[in-house]
Chain A
């Protein structure tokens, strides 16, 4: 079945540091890949997505590239801010058989804390 594995957390950084959160996946078919973010006290929000190999999703200074050869979708940001402190989830939708109902499979989440 489909699965998503994220790097172990939590991650603690100083403001303006470089961020990488690793994500690898296993999927039947040809998945679409997503990063969701959950800020303290808020619901899950889509951060960025990529729907085919070599696509780069980007938003709010974050970016991730769909790497089919390594089955990875690592999240990066060049300079984090205190306001980026949140839980980040990597997720996929699989397209086995050419159809999908949009069922998301999530990783376990990575807690990011950014200190001033």
Chain B
């Protein structure tokens, strides 16, 4: 079946612009996660959705970052007033359930964001 998909695969934007990154999880997966991976580092947690609600947004770095999942499927990560430090690969993952560590998270290919 189809895996997690993310669009666009690459995004180049100018400092100060607004961007939206999209994640389409595996059908039926109720849990959805966003992570950010800077060059040479491991992914860092940003936000977790269980269904439509953000159950944990403790990883969002500041109020320029926001994410939604209005129908409990597709999610959009929104970044306002982008800064050069936001340049990274943004990863999305989905899982059949969020609670409990026994459920594998399936990762998408990521969106590489470059802020010039």
A43 vs B55: C-alpha distance in the bound complex, in angstroms? 25
Also in contact, A103 and B42, with CB within 8 A (given A32-B102, A46-B105): no
Question: Would you call the interface of chain A mostly helix, strand, loop, or mixed?
Answer: loop
A104-B110 contact, Cβ under 8 Å, with A89-B42, A109-B41: no
Binds A, one of B18-26, B76-84, B93-101: B93-101
On whether the beta carbons of B44 and A102 are closer than 8 Å, the reply is no
CB atoms of A105 and B101 under 8 A apart: no
A28 to B31, CA, bound (A): 22
How far apart sit A105 and B44, CA to CA, in the bound complex (Å)?
Answer: 7
Are B48 and A101 in contact (CB-based, < 8 A)?
yes
Picked from B4, B48, B104, B109, the residue with its CB within 8 Å of the CB of A103 is: B48
| B56 CB-CB contact with A under 8 Å | yes
Contacting residue for A43 out of B31, B33, B41, B108, CB 8 A: B108
Contacting B41 at CB < 8 Å: which of A31, A49, A105, A108? Answer: A108
Complex: chain B residue closest to A99, CB-CB: B99
Q: Are A45 and B107 in contact (CB under 8 A)?
A: yes
Docked CA distance A32–B103 (Å): 11
Is A82 positioned at the interface, with any CB of B under 8 Å from its CB? no
Name B98's contact: one of A89, A101, A107, A108 (CB within 8 Å): A101
B105/A101 in contact, CB under 8 A = no
B31: chain A residues at CB < 8 Å are 101-102
Known contacts A44-B43, A89-B42, A108-B40; A101/B99 CB under 8 A: yes
B91 closest partner in A (C-beta): A44
Q: Give residues of chain A (39-67) contacting chain B, Cβ–Cβ below 8 Å.
A: 42-46, 49, 51
User: Which residues, 89 to 116 on A, are CB-close (under 8 Å) to B?
Assistant: 89, 91, 93, 95, 99-109
Closest Cβ–Cβ distance, residue A49 to chain B (whole Å): 8
9 contacts between A and B (CB under 8 A): A95-B101, A101-B31, A101-B56, A102-B95, A102-B97, A104-B43, A104-B105, A106-B43, A108-B41
| Ranked 4 nearest A-B pairs via Cβ | A106-B42, A32-B101, A93-B101, A44-B107
